[in-house]
């Protein structure tokens, strides 16, 4: 999977706007401050370009809480700031007595085999790690988490590609 051209254009446009807003014209910034400004601009731009994903809302919500980046996020998003800070609702798990009864029966039979219990524990561990890595992943069910993870990885790859392109152009 690859990011669309529309995503890349929106990302690049917002990132350049963010860099103009966060980097002073005089250039009197330390390397750490410059790195933080580029990272914040890049993260907000990526989240804005991928509007609608839970991870994009989580990134903007996290950056909006921080004192240094709050004004950058507000200025960069403008009128869209409020829309991005609305809580996102995730899909709820459907439950019924029959489904629960069947799952408990299946669990009882799987517990007897050690391979099944090892596989279950590995899946639980990896899901827990994935929830920590994907922004907003802690509020998602497993299926939604996998979809958000794929979307987040595609967006991160596009972010890296665009930043590498900017770096190449800057060195010319």
Of residues 107 and 171, the one with the higher pLDDT is: 171
Distance CA 51, CA 55 (A): 9
Band (46; pLDDT cuts 50, 70, 90)? very high
Q: What is the pLDDT of residues 138-151, one digit of tens each?
A: 888 888 999 999 99
State pLDDT tens for residues 17-35. 888 888 777 768 888 888 8
Residue 59: partners with Cβ closer than 8 Å, 6 or more residues away: 43, 44, 46, 47, 135, 136
CA distance 60 to 100: 37
| Residues present in the chain in total | 172
Q: How far is CA 129 from CA 10, 124, 133, 137, 149, in A?
A: 30, 9, 6, 10, 12
Q: Is the pLDDT of residue 95 over 80?
A: no
Q: Report the predicted TM-score, pTM, of the whole model to 2 decimal places.
A: 0.73
**Higher per-residue pLDDT: 112 or 12:** 12
Taking the CA atoms of residue 4, residue 6, residue 7 and residue 13 in that order, the dihedral angle to the nearest 10 degrees is 150
The pair of structure tokens assigned to 107 is: 């669990």
Backbone angles phi, psi at 154, to 5 degrees: -60, -40
Contact present, 109 and 102 (Cβ < 8 Å): no
Given the structure tokens 């009128």, which residue do they identify? 79
């Amino acid at each position: 999977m690859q990011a669309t051209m529309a995503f890349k254009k929106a990302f690049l446009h917002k990132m350049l706007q963010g860099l103009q807003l966060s980097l002073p014209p005089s250039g009197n910034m330390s390397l750490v401050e410059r790195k933080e400004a580029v990272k914040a601009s890049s993260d907000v731009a990526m989240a804005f370009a991928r509007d609608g994903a839970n991870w994009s809302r989580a990134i903007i919500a996290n950056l909006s809480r921080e004192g240094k980046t709050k004004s950058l996020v507000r200025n960069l998003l403008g009128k869209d700031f409020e829309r991005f800070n609305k809580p996102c609702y995730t899909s709820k798990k459907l439950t019924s007595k029959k489904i629960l009864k069947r799952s408990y029966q299946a669990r009882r039979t799987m517990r007897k085999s050690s391979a099944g219990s090892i596989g279950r524990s590995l899946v639980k561990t990896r899901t827990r790690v994935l929830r920590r890595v994907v922004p907003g992943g802690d509020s998602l069910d497993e299926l939604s988490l996998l979809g958000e993870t794929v979307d987040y990885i595609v967006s991160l790859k596009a972010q890296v590609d665009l930043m590498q392109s900017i770096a190449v152009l800057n060195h010319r």
